[in-house]
């Protein structure tokens, strides 16, 4: 796996952890928010509904009280008494002393004529017969008008009750200043954007509204809710803003009491909770992501370590399998070649033997033949060198303990690379200690290590230089050393600690696996020895193998 794939894996794991943690987090957050907002909205609309109910009851009661008062007046006096101007004045004063809202009081006979009138206006000879309110009062006995301007040119309400005295019908009529209603409704208004007003079934405002204008203005927003009983709360969007309306129809008159609230104010605790929930979810998300990042980094790093370790093992196995297969093949080839080589040599030898019995003078090409036979012998010797070196490598790969002459191994291995070195004009030098003790080790594996070091040295020198193999006995006499010294470019200090690491390579892609020195290190440890490096940049490098003396 390359670093890109690890990165991708890391992102995938992180994504999965984050996504799966996010689901319950968001679910919990939105559930909490939903619960809270639902509860809160319910509470608001509940309190609004209760307010509307209370206020409606108060207004109803106010109107009923006034009607009752009027009715009492009518029923406790007869027409004769009431149509007396002075007496009516007396009654009106009594009423006004209890309720300042009464503006005037009139007594109207069954034909619509004013029998008596007390009040600030000159209405004495107005005939109401045929007017809507008159007809309705005659029909129902009680009448409450909408707010209107009338003759008086200011908003007022008419209350009227009809009394039957024997065969006579008459009406006691009072005018109420609608400002009283205003006050009754208004004192409930809450908050800056709250509003409270009365509106009749024709959408005409019966009291002034903070948001919808003065009394008798048109009110279009609550398009025609038909009459219903009890109180109702509705949510409407006004100018893109949610407004809660609490509504209730009055009992005695077709007026709708409306109390509106802008939730912007009353819902602000809700928005605060919303903000807290969002920031908690956000904070939780950040924490989860940080946790996921840390955990994932650990997992992927462990994975990468395992992968590296496994790749190193695989590479070692592949390498040793390769060496074993190569060894077997080399042994087979060497053996098969050795027999014909023996025959060639013996045949040539026999020719040479026979030539000694001949008279050189008698054979025309005696010299040439002798020379050719010598050439054959020389080349058989060369070929023998090759097959014997092959056999040297053909040992099996399991560590074997043999008595090994390190100098011999060094010579053999150098012979292998002689051509390559010559080709690059590199001098291979051997400085071998003559009295080197033998070591108990595995020749083939030691050869592999040495070959690797020599190849590296030749690569490091590149062209024109020397590679020296030096053997010596340590002062204690218990260990022997073999150094491969090159005149190459050397190894920078900071790299020296890493060159035995698996996959560390200074070569380009495809040129080196970075396993050579790592495997060599492993082999030397298995053989009970060691490998060390000394180098100064620009001055070449010295790799030293140490092996125990047997």
**Residues at the site binding another protein, with contacts judged by CB under 8 A:** 331, 334-335, 338-339, 341-347, 349-350, 353, 380, 384, 388, 391-392, 394-395
Q: What is the DSSP letter of 489?
A: -
Query: Looking at beta carbons only, is 35 or 347 nearer to another protein?
Result: 347
CB of 404 to another protein, least distance (A): 12
CA dihedral 129, 132, 135, 136 (to 10 degrees): -150
Q: Which helix (H) or strand (E) holds 111?
A: none
CB of 403 to another protein, least distance (A): 10
Q: Is 245 helix (H, G, I), strand (E, B) or coil?
A: strand
Q: Which are the contacts of 246, defined by CB distance < 8 A and separation ≥ 6?
A: 45, 48, 49, 51, 52, 231, 232, 233, 258, 259, 260, 261
CB 389 within 8 Å of CB 330: no
Q: What is the DSSP letter of 227?
A: P
CB of 344 to another protein, least distance (A): 8
CB of 323 to another protein, least distance (A): 16
CB of 356 to another protein, least distance (A): 9
Name the region of 71 (left: φ>0; alpha: ψ -120 to 50; beta: rest).
alpha
Q: Is 142 helix (H, G, I), strand (E, B) or coil?
A: strand
Query: Looking at beta carbons only, is 341 or 397 nearer to another protein?
Result: 341
CB of 353 to another protein, least distance (A): 5
Helices (H), 157-198: 179-186
Query: Would the CA dihedral through 387, 392, 393, 394 be positive or negative?
Result: positive
CB of 385 to another protein, least distance (A): 11
Q: Which residues is 42 bridged to in the sheet?
A: none
Q: How far apart are CA 342 and CA 462, in angstroms?
A: 39
Query: What is the rounded end-to-end Cα distance, in angstroms, of the chain?
Result: 44
Reading the block at residue 134, the tokens are 């008159």
Query: Looking at beta carbons only, is 302 or 343 nearer to another protein?
Result: 343
Q: Is 484 helix (H, G, I), strand (E, B) or coil?
A: strand
CB of 545 to another protein, least distance (A): 23
Query: Looking at beta carbons only, is 72 or 403 nearer to another protein?
Result: 403
CB 14 within 8 Å of CB 289: yes
Query: Looking at beta carbons only, is 28 or 337 nearer to another protein?
Result: 337
CB of 362 to another protein, least distance (A): 19
CB of 550 to another protein, least distance (A): 16
CB 146 within 8 Å of CB 132: no
Q: Is 501 helix (H, G, I), strand (E, B) or coil?
A: coil
Query: Looking at beta carbons only, is 384 or 424 nearer to another protein?
Result: 384
Query: Looking at beta carbons only, is 216 or 386 nearer to another protein?
Result: 386
Q: How far apart are CA 125 and CA 136, in angstroms?
A: 21
Give the CB-side neighbour count of residue 411, counting CA atoms within 13 A: 10
Q: How far apart are CA 75 and CA 368, in angstroms?
A: 170
Q: How far apart are CA 178 and CA 207, in angstroms?
A: 7
CB of 340 to another protein, least distance (A): 9
Query: Looking at beta carbons only, is 81 or 379 nearer to another protein?
Result: 379
Q: How far apart are CA 63 and CA 159, in angstroms?
A: 9
Query: Looking at beta carbons only, is 127 or 403 nearer to another protein?
Result: 403
Instruction: Indicate the pairing of strand 465-473 with strand 426-431.
Output: parallel
Query: Looking at beta carbons only, is 334 or 461 nearer to another protein?
Result: 334
User: Which pairs from 4-12 meet CB under 8 Å and 24+ separation?
Assistant: 6/300, 6/303, 6/304, 9/300, 9/303, 10/296, 10/297, 10/300
Query: Looking at beta carbons only, is 32 or 355 nearer to another protein?
Result: 355
CB of 384 to another protein, least distance (A): 6
Closest CA to 261 of 275, 247, 250: 247
Query: Looking at beta carbons only, is 318 or 550 nearer to another protein?
Result: 550
Query: Looking at beta carbons only, is 248 or 341 nearer to another protein?
Result: 341
CB of 367 to another protein, least distance (A): 21
CB of 358 to another protein, least distance (A): 13
Query: Looking at beta carbons only, is 357 or 359 nearer to another protein?
Result: 357
Helices (H), 160-267: 179-186, 263-266
Q: How far apart are CA 170 and CA 108, in angstroms?
A: 6
């Amino acid at each position: 796996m390359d670093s890109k794939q690890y990165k991708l894996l890391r992102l995938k794991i992180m994504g999965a952890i984050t996504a799966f943690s996010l689901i319950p987090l968001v679910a919990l957050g939105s559930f909490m928010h939903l619960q809270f907002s639902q509860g809160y909205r319910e509470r608001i609309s509940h309190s609004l509904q209760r307010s509307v109910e209370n206020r409606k009851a108060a207004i109803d009661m106010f109107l009923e009280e006034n009607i009752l008062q009027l009715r009492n007046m009518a029923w406790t006096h007869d027409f004769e008494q009431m149509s007396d101007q002075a007496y009516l004045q007396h009654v009106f004063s009594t009423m006004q002393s209890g309720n300042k809202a009464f503006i005037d009081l009139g007594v109207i006979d069954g034909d619509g004529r004013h029998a008596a009138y007390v009040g600030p206006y000159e209405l004495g000879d107005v005939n109401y017969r045929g007017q809507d309110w008159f007809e309705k009062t005659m029909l129902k006995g009680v009448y409450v008008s909408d707010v209107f301007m009338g003759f008086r040119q200011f908003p007022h309400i008419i209350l009227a009750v009809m009394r039957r005295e024997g065969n006579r019908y008459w009406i006691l009529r009072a005018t109420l200043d609608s400002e009283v209603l205003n006050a009754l409704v208004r004192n409930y208004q809450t908050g800056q954007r709250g509003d409270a007003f009365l509106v009749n079934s024709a959408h005409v405002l019966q009291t002034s509204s903070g948001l919808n204008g003065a009394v008798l203005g048109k009110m279009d927003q609550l398009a025609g809710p038909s009459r219903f009983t009890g109180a109702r709360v509705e949510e409407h969007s006004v100018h893109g803003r949610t407004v809660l309306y609490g509504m209730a129809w009055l009992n005695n008159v077709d007026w709708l009491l409306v109390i509106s609230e802008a939730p912007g104010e009353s819902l602000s605790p809700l928005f605060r909770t919303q903000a807290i929930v969002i920031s908690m979810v956000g904070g939780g998300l950040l924490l989860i992501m940080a946790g996921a990042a840390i955990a994932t980094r650990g997992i992927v790093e462990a994975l990468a370590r395992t992968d590296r370790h496994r790749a190193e093992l695989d590479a070692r196995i592949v390498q040793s399998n390769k060496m074993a297969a190569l060894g077997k093949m080399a042994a087979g080839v060497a053996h098969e070649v050795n027999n014909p080589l023996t025959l060639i040599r013996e045949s040539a030898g026999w020719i040479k033997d026979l030539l000694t019995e001949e008279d050189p003078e008698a054979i025309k090409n005696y010299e040439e033949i002798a020379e050719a036979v010598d050439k054959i012998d020389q080349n058989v010797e060369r070929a023998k060198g090759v097959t014997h070196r092959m056999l040297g490598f053909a040992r099996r790969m399991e560590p074997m303990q043999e008595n090994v002459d390190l100098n011999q191994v060094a010579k053999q291995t150098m012979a292998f690379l002689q051509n390559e070195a010559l080709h690059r004009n590199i001098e291979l030098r051997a400085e071998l200690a003559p009295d080197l003790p033998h070591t108990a080790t595995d020749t083939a594996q030691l050869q592999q290590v040495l070959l690797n070091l020599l190849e590296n040295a030749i690569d490091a020198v590149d062209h024109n230089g020397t590679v020296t193999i030096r053997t010596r006995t340590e002062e204690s006499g218990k260990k022997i050393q073999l150094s491969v010294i090159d005149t190459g470019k050397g190894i920078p200090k900071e790299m020296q600690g890493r060159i035995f690491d698996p996959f560390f390579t200074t070569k380009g892609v495809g040129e080196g696996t970075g396993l050579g020195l790592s495997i060599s290190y492993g082999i030397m440890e298995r053989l009970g020895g060691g490998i060390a490096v000394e180098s100064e940049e620009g001055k070449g490098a010295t790799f030293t193998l140490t092996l125990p003396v047997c």
